[in-house]
């Protein structure tokens, strides 16, 4: 019965779209909508799934400690080892839940964090088992441990908090699986190497930087091995110096090889994990910033004014994001695509209208003009979904105008209504023919910006458009314009859902002002030199130059 009802409604919806298309009010196609799988959304937000993952982590930690090396601290005391493992695992869950609330809301992020820690601990257990069996020399036991694996993965994918959390708990829990006399040494090596990896991948924008991070981690491990006596550099100068030198060289090579292997594994698996967990790193954002994307190339050809506007908004947003520590590469890429919906009707937007060309809005009522302008947001979402753009780009397209008012056409509609009302008062018109001006019809559908990056792009878009109207821009004019527009957005409630603080907004305004000052700097009027026409038999060609070009203008003499 339910399926039949859905089919009937779908059939009726198709008929309505066909009727509207016949009248010229619709393209006859159902608009694409970006939506997530309902089942996945339920699983993602389910507290029971997260509790099950926490329980799996606690039980897995206890099992690893019980099956630890025969020389481990709690090898002969399994129940005491299980108790300490339980305490550490529960404290890890509690610290994660308290210290990273934004991450622990999503089941997939919880799986990524605790699954990564478990994989890391399994590798530690494997290395210790190989060392106990004699496969790995005792001198190199700790140099084979991939200390940077989980911290590097989590640092790149989820940020500094998750990376530091992993570095701390793989060190504490892993110390229960190593020989008792080396517990302190293991904690020091694992913790310092893990934190080094987290620091080195904070702003990774190229894959080669991951290899550089691996080199740094390897160097730190060698240095700590020397300091803690795992590798003895002084023994090189004593008896059996060649054997000691070989041990030192082999140990250093193993440390660097292990760290570089970890870096290469992380680099190779990043795209897979980004796809699986719906994440995107700065490396991927920079790959997405390629201006050869099909939509951007189409914008260059069909809407060059919008394309230039998007480039300037990208520069403004990226600089402001860097100022407050937001995601600058994301701001740049999202700004490139934020007005892509204007491709459907580029000539209806003033930046694409040339001097002397006919303005298509002259033939439309203000209400219809407002609808055309507002529609570019929905058209942008449609194009973004069609071209499979990242969901965060689609979110910015949807939010970059919030539910703000298309003030120009709203005011124009009010003026027309006022003029018609004056005619009615003079008995020259009918009161029933007065146009209805509803403010809601001139507002964007929203929602308002909900992230720092979306809020920055919303402000940058408005400020860039308004800055074009400045005549003879000065620092004071630019600053006043920025302050006024940001205050207007705040008063209109456009930033109510945005996590930008007042202190961050002050830094954003400073960044906008400085960037606009560098873009809108004034130039002196260029004056052409007087020509001695009596000495020229033909028309001379003069090269115009900017004020910065100090070379004199060269007059091309005619060739006789």
pLDDT score, position 540? 37
Does residue 502 fall inside a structural domain?
yes
- Cα separation, 287 vs 284, in Å, equals 5
Q: Assign residue 456 the CATH number of its domain.
A: 1.10.3210
256, 223: one domain: yes
Confidence of residue 265 (pLDDT cuts 50, 70, 90): very high
154 in Cβ contact with 116 (< 8 Å): yes
- The β-bridge partners of 72 are 179
pLDDT band at 417 (very low <50, low <70, confident <90, very high): confident
Same domain, 354 and 487: yes
Whole-prediction pTM value?
0.78
Same-domain pairing of 104 and 150 = yes
Residues 60 and 172 in one domain: yes
Residue 103 banded pLDDT, cuts 50, 70, 90: confident
Question: What tokens does 263 get?
Answer: 């870096």
Name the domain boundary from 232, 255, 283. 283
Per the structure, the complete domain to which residue 496 belongs is given by: 292-406+443-519
> Does 171 fall in a domain?
yes
The angle formed by the CA atoms of residues 497, 502 and 505, to the nearest 5 degrees, is 85
Residue 299, in any domain of the structure: yes
For position 237, what pLDDT does the model report?
57
Residues 130 and 211 occupy one common structural domain: yes
Average pLDDT over residues 96-103: 87
Residue 136 Rama label (left phi>0; alpha psi -120 to 50; beta): beta
- Measured CA to CA in angstroms, residue 347 lies from 302, 361, 448 at distances of 9, 9, 27
Average pLDDT over residues 125-147: 85
Same domain, 266 and 360: no
Say which residue, 321 or 35, is predicted with more confidence: 321
Question: Which of 178-182, 269-273, 389-393 has the weakest average pLDDT?
Answer: 178-182
Q: What is the pLDDT of residue 205?
A: 83
Chain mean pLDDT for the chain = 83
State pLDDT tens for residues 479-508: 999 999 999 999 999 999 999 999 999 999
Smallest Cα–Cα separation from 222: which of 213, 212, 234, 232?
Answer: 232
Domain boundary among 283, 307, 336: 283
- 417 domain-assigned: no
Query: What does the pLDDT read at residue 236?
Result: 55
Q: Whose CA is closest to 196, among 218, 177, 180, 176?
A: 218
| 363: pLDDT strictly greater than 70 | yes
* Average pLDDT estimate for 252-275: 92
* pLDDT for the residue 34: 47
The answer on 268 and 312 residing in a single domain is no
Lowest mean pLDDT among 19-23, 102-106, 125-129: 19-23
63: pLDDT strictly greater than 50: yes
- Angle (CA) 153 125 151, round 5°: 15
pLDDT at 440 over 50: yes
Instruction: Work out the average pLDDT over 248-267.
Output: 91
Beta carbons of 63 and 124 less than 8 angstroms apart: no
Mean pLDDT of 431-437: 72
pLDDT of residue 432: 66
Q: In the prediction, which pLDDT does 140 show?
A: 81
- Residue 168, pLDDT > 90, answer yes
List phi, psi (to 5°) of 72.
Answer: -65, 160
pLDDT exceeding 90 applies to what percent of the chain? 50
Residues forming a β-bridge with 179: 72
Residues 230, 162, single domain; the answer is yes
Write down the pLDDT at residue 369.
92
Q: How many CB atoms lie within 10 A of CB 191?
A: 21
Of 6-15, 436-445, 475-484, give the lowest mean pLDDT range. 6-15
Q: Among 283, 302, 324, give the residue marking a domain's end.
A: 283
Whether the predicted pLDDT of 524 surpasses 80: no
Burial label for 156, CB within 10 Å (0-12, 13-18, 19+), is buried
Cβ-based neighbour number of residue 347 at 10 Å? 16
Q: Is residue 438 part of a domain?
A: no
Residue 471: is its pLDDT beyond 90?
no
How many independent structural domains does the chain possess?
2
The CA distance from 352 to 306, in Å, is 7
Residue % of the chain over a pLDDT of 70: 80
Same domain for 326 and 193? no
- The yes-or-no verdict on residue 459 having pLDDT over 90 is yes
Q: What is the sign of the dihedral through the CA atoms of 367, 369, 370 and 374?
A: positive
Q: What is the mean pLDDT of residues 539-556?
A: 36
**Alpha carbons 395 and 400: distance in angstroms, whole number:** 8
Where does the pLDDT of residue 33 fall: very low under 50, low under 70, confident under 90, or very high at 90 and above? very low
123 pLDDT exceeds 70? yes
Backbone angles phi, psi at 393, to 5 degrees: -65, -45
Greatest distance between any 2 Cα atoms in the chain:
117
β-bridge mates for residue 405, sequence order: 443
Q: Please enumerate in sequence order all residues whose Cβ is within 8 A of that of 80, keeping only pairs 6 or more positions apart, or say none.
A: 74
d(CA 520, CA 315): 13
In a domain, 391, yes or no: yes
Place of tokens 């494997």: 126
Name the more confident of 205 and 69.
205
Query: What 8-state DSSP symbol labels residue 443?
Result: B
Do 328 and 457 belong to one domain? yes
* CA–CA gap between residue 474 and residue 479 (Å, rounded): 9
Q: How many CB atoms lie within 10 A of CB 160?
A: 13
In a domain, 534, yes or no: no
CA distance 245 to 237: 9
Query: Residue 538: which pLDDT band, with cuts at 50, 70 and 90?
Result: very low
Assess if residue 303 is contained within a domain.
yes
Mark whether 272 and 323 lie in a shared domain: no
The residue among 136 and 191 whose pLDDT is bigger is 191
Residues 274, 353, single domain; the answer is no
């Amino acid at each position: 019965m339910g399926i039949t009802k859905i089919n009937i409604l779908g059939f009726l919806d198709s008929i309505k779209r066909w009727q509207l298309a016949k009248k010229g009010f619709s393209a006859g196609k159902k608009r694409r909508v970006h939506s997530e799988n309902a089942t996945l959304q339920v699983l993602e937000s389910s507290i029971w799934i997260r509790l099950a993952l926490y329980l799996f982590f606690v039980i897995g930690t206890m099992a690893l400690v019980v099956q630890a090396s025969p020389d481990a601290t709690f090898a002969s005391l399994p129940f005491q080892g299980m108790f300490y493992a339980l305490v550490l695992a529960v404290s890890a869950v509690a610290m994660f839940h308290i210290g990273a609330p934004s991450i622990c809301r999503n089941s997939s992020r919880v799986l990524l964090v605790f699954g990564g820690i478990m994989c890391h601990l399994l590798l530690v257990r494997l290395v210790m088992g190989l060392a106990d069996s004699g496969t790995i020399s005792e001198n190199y036991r700790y140099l084979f441990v991939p200390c940077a694996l989980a911290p590097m993965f989590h640092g790149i994918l989820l940020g500094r908090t998750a990376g530091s959390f992993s570095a701390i708990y793989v060190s504490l829990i892993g110390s229960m699986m190593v020989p008792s006399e080396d517990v302190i040494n293991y904690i020091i090596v694992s913790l310092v190497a893990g934190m080094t990896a987290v620091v080195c991948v904070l702003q990774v924008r190229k894959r080669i930087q991951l290899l550089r991070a691996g080199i740094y981690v390897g160097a730190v491990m060698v240095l700590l091995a020397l300091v803690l006596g795992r590798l003895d550099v002084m023994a090189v100068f004593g008896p059996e110096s060649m054997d000691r030198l070989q041990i030192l060289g082999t140990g250093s090579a193993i440390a660097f090889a292990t760290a570089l292997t970890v870096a290469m594994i992380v680099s190779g698996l990043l795209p897979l994990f980004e796809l699986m967990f719906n994440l995107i790193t700065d490396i991927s954002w920079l790959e997405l910033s390629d201006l050869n994307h099909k939509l951007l190339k189409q914008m260059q050809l069909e809407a060059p004014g919008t394309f230039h506007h998007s480039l300037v908004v990208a520069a403004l947003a990226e600089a402001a994001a860097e100022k407050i520590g937001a995601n600058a590469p994301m701001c740049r890429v999202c700004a490139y695509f934020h007005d892509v919906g204007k491709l459907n009707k580029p000539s209806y937007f003033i930046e694409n209208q040339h001097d002397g060309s006919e303005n298509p809005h002259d033939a439309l009522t203000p209400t219809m003009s407002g609808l055309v302008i507002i529609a570019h947001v929905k058209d942008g979402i449609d194009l973004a979904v069609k071209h499979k753009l990242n969901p965060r780009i689609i979110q910015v397209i949807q939010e970059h105008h919030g539910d703000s008012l298309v003030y120009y056409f709203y005011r124009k509609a009010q003026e027309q209504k006022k003029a018609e009302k004056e005619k009615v008062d003079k008995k020259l018109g009918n009161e029933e023919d007065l146009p209805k001006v509803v403010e809601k019809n001139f507002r964007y559908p929203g929602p308002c910006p909900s992230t720092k990056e979306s809020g920055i792009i919303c402000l940058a878009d408005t400020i860039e458009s308004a800055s074009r109207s400045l005549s003879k821009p000065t620092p004071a004019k630019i600053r006043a314009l920025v302050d006024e527009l940001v205050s207007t957005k705040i008063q209109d409630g456009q930033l109510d859902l945005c996590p930008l603080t007042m202190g961050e907004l002050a830094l954003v305004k400073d960044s906008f002002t400085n960037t606009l000052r560098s873009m809108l700097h004034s130039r002196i009027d260029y004056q052409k030199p007087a020509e001695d026409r009596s000495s020229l038999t033909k028309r001379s060609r003069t090269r115009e130059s900017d004020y910065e070009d100090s070379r004199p203008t060269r007059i091309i003499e005619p060739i006789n």
